[in-house]
Every structure is written in structure tokens, then in C-alpha cells.
Amino acid sequence: DKFWNNLVDRLFFSVNRRSFLLSAILARPCFLLILRPRPRFRFT
């Protein structure tokens, strides 16, 4: 029982960390676009 708990914990942690890294890499351009000074004119 403890072995399976440990295994699931480790698997979930690795998947969680991988998805977190992926989301961070994907979110960086969005954050840069948001934090960048906005242009004076905007296309609506």
C-alpha cells in the first residue's frame, strides 16, 4: 500500500512539474506582452 502511494506520489509530482514547466514556457510570451508598455495606438 505504501509502495503504491509512493509511486503515485512520485508520478504525480513528475507530471505536475513537467506541466508546470511547460505552462511557464508557454505563459512567458503572454506575460511579456502584458507587461510590455502598450503601444500608443491600438487596433480595435
Q: Which residues contact 9 (CB under 8 A, 6 or more apart)?
A: none
Gyration radius (Cα) of the chain, Å = 19
Q: What pLDDT is recorded for position 39?
A: 66
Predicted structure pTM score: 0.41
Q: Which one is predicted more confidently, 30 or 2?
A: 2
Listed by start position, the domains of the chain span: 1-44
What are the pLDDT digits (tens) for 3-44? Answer: 989 999 998 888 888 888 888 888 888 788 877 766 666 655
Cα separation, 34 vs 28, in Å, equals 10
Q: What pLDDT is recorded for position 26?
A: 84
* Three-state secondary structure call for residue 42: coil
- What cell numbers appear for 25 in the block? 514556457
Q: What pLDDT is recorded for position 40?
A: 65
